[in-house]
Amino acid sequence: MARRGRGRDRLVLNAEINVVSLIDVMMLLMIIFMITAPMMQGGVDITLPKAQSRPLESKSGLTVTVDRTGAIYVDEARLSLTQFTSSFKALANRRGSGGVYLRADDRVPYGSVVKVLAIMRASGVGDIGLVAEPPEVK
């Protein structure tokens, strides 16, 4: 008669973690984020004018954009000129002392940019940065 021991026939437990599948999932997620991150950058689609200037310090300020049709956006919310005139002071005060950045398409008439800038100055905002892209180096 064969004697059977209770503990001898048991399988030995392997306490190691198989990380190969975890690495596969991590690499897949990294590729997905690398592809989708540039697409998720929000904002209004404009072509900034090119100018040689020193870079602005990145602050958490309010961004005002004038697109090529002359439409005004505060961050990403579209406003008419009358809405912008009546609400800009409250928006700037709510945002705090982060400053205001004015972005305008390079095809916008100069008069439209000056109107928006005059409204911003009349509301008491003193720290206004005009945003431009650096010229291409050949």
Helix residue ranges per DSSP H, 39-126 = 81-95, 110-122
Q: Of 138, 60, 67, which is closest to residue 101 (Cα–Cα)? A: 60
pLDDT in tens, 80-129: 989 998 988 888 888 766 678 888 888 888 888 899 999 988 888 878 88
| Residue 68 one-letter amino acid | R
pLDDT, tens only, 25-76: 999 999 998 888 777 666 667 767 777 766 666 667 788 899 888 889 988 8
Fold of 62-130: Nucleotidyltransferase; domain 5 (3.30.420)
Spell out the long-range contacts of 74-82 with Cβ–Cβ below 8 A and sequence spacing 24 or more.
Answer: 76/42, 76/43, 76/44, 81/115
